[in-house]
């Protein structure tokens, strides 16, 4: 009997605890709009997880200090509940579940990486929770018919599209010979599909098509093939590991290739870790501070970069910029919906058509942003060995002229 009583009181205590916690965390409390986010603060994505979080926080502070969000004649402020997903997709899905069903969050921000976004999207979709994400670019996210997922970034298959187009253009419109090496993960394989499309469209030929292992730190074999077969373009995508390994071994093995295009150069701090060896590498980027997009909150890329540097002590990678943009999109959608009804906010998000410092944002029915092209920058170094990333394509934003073909190692 006594045991029963103890169990009963324990259960009722739990019920009370949960009901109060739900009440205190509900989506809009007082003048606060509470967003939820599972972010990789530990584990293998932790550095980019932190970039994402810094981007979110920076935008929250900025929007709040500049008047907040106006809905129904009242002013609200943003607040975010963060959980650490440990870079683990299973954990991320659990946390999304927890944010929604226990903490009562009704609007979500995305995690870092395509893999984790893929794990969370089915959960937010199930509960009809609108999610604006800034770090999941995998094409497969946008072909599932998700209604509540919106991505401010361009999908992965467009990352290196521009590079192939440029190479073909420089070749007088004739197809080029492409060598490619991609890690076997969702993101890199999507980049690969984009290259396959571009090759077909331009009549280019793929002569080397290597898939790199997950624990990649040696791609000498691929580079030996490149040395022997002499392609016009070498494309590499394998997150930071891929970028660092490629540059190291290309320099060591003196591989001459007219164009080298990669992803994740700024996350890898390429020019810092490799200095002059990274010179002439072309890198796909979602954003660069020299782009001339504008908005009312961050003004433009240069101002954003300066403010970010002041607050966090480093130059913002595009992962931070796109994360900040996600908040601007949310604010805009809340104000246009003029309501906190999830369906109305969702519809307002779907109708988004705006410019932010990060780029134009307009969502396709699949949820990807179709109004913002990728940019390519090239690592350029001066005589003293100081290297800088300069935008070279598309021409509209180019701040420097593309150096092509890349000078041979024997002439450097």
Partner 1 sequence: MDFLVFQYPMITVQACLDGILLGVLFALIAYGMALQWGVMNIINIAQGDLVILGGYIAYFMYLYGIHPAWGVIVAPVIMYFVGIAIYKLVINKVVDRDLFISILATFGISILFMQLMNFAFGADVVLANSGYGTTMLFDSNVVLPNSKIFSAFISILFAVCLVIYMKKSKLGRAIRATAQNARAAKILGVDTEKVYAATFGINAALCGVAGALISITFTIHPYMGLPYTIRSFMIVIVAGLGNLPGVAMSGMGLGVFEEFADYILGTEFRIGSVFLLLVLILVYRRFKLSRKREYLK
Residues that bind partner 1 (CB under 8 A): 42-47, 87, 181, 184, 207-208, 210-213, 215, 217-222, 224-225, 227-228, 239-241, 244-245, 248-249, 252-254, 268-269, 273-275
Torsion angle of C-alpha atoms 10, 16, 19, 25, degrees rounded to 10? -100
CB of 88 to partner 1, least distance (A): 12
Min dist. Cβ of residue 409 to partner 1 (A): 9
Among residues 279 and 352, whose Cβ is nearest to partner 1? 279
Are the CB atoms for 25 and 34 separated by under 8 Å? yes
Min separation Cβ 222 and partner 1, Å: 6
Cα atoms found within 13 Å of the Cα of residue 8, Cβ hemisphere only: 5
Is the CB of 194 or the CB of 317 nearer to partner 1?
A: 317
Beta bridge partners of 33: 28, 78
Alpha-carbon torsion, ordered 252, 258, 261, 267, to 10 deg: 40
Q: Least distance in Å: CB of 231 to partner 1?
A: 12
Nearer to partner 1, 212 or 391 (CB): 212
Shortest Cβ 265–partner 1 spacing (Å): 12
Least separation in angstroms between CB 339 and partner 1 = 40
CB 208 within 8 A of CB 192: no
Q: Nearer Cβ to partner 1, position 61 or 185? A: 185
Name which of 140 and 249 has its Cβ closer to partner 1: 249
Cα 220 from Cα 222, distance rounded (Å): 5
How many C-beta atoms surround the C-beta of residue 380 within 10 A?
A: 19
Of residues 55 and 130, the one with the C-beta less far from partner 1: 55
């Amino acid at each position: 009997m006594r045991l029963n009583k103890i169990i009963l009181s324990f259960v009722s205590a739990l019920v009370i605890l949960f009901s109060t916690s739900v009440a205190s965390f509900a989506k809009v409390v007082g003048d606060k709009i509470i967003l939820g986010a599972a972010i990789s603060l530990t584990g293998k994505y932790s550095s980019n997880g932190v970039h994402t979080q810094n981007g979110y926080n920076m935008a929250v502070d900025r929007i709040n200090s500049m008047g907040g969000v106006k809905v129904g004649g009242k002013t609200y402020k943003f607040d975010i509940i963060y959980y650490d997903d440990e870079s683990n997709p299973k954990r991320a899905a659990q946390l999304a579940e927890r944010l929604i069903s226990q903490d009562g969050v009704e609007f979500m921000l995305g995690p870092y990486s395509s893999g984790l976004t893929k794990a969370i999207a089915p959960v937010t979709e199930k509960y009809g929770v609108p999610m604006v994400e800034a770090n999941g670019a995998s094409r497969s996210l946008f072909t599932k018919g998700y209604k509540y997922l919106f991505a401010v970034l361009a999908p992965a298959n467009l990352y290196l599209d521009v590079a192939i187009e440029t190479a073909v253009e420089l070749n007088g419109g004739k197809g080029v010979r492409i060598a490619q090496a991609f890690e076997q993960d969702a993101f890199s394989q999507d980049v690969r599909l984009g290259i396959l499309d571009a090759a077909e469209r331009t009549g280019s030929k793929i002569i080397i098509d290597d898939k790199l292992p997950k624990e990649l730190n040696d791609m000498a074999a691929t580079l030996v093939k490149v040395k022997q077969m002499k392609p016009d373009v070498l494309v590499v995508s394998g997150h930071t590991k891929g970028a660092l390994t490629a540059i190291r071994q290309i320099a060591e093995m003196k591989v001459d290739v007219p164009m080298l295009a990669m992803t994740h150069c700024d996350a890898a701090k390429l020019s810092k870790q490799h200095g002059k060896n990274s010179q002439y590498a072309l890198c796909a980027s979602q954003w660069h501070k020299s782009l001339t997009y504008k908005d009312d909150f961050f003004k433009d890329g240069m101002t954003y970069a300066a403010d970010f540097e002041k607050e966090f002590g480093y130059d913002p990678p595009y992962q931070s910029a796109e994360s900040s943009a996600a908040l601007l999109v949310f604010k805009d959608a809340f104000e246009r919906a003029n309501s906190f009804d999830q369906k109305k906010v969702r519809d307002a998000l779907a109708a988004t058509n705006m410019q932010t410092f990060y780029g134009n944002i307009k969502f396709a029915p699949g949820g990807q942003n179709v109004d913002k092209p990728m940019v390519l920058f090239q690592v350029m170094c001066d005589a003293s060995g100081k290297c800088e990333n300069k935008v070279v394509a598309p021409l509209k934003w180019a701040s420097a002229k593309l150096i092509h073909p890349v000078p041979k190692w024997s002439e450097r």
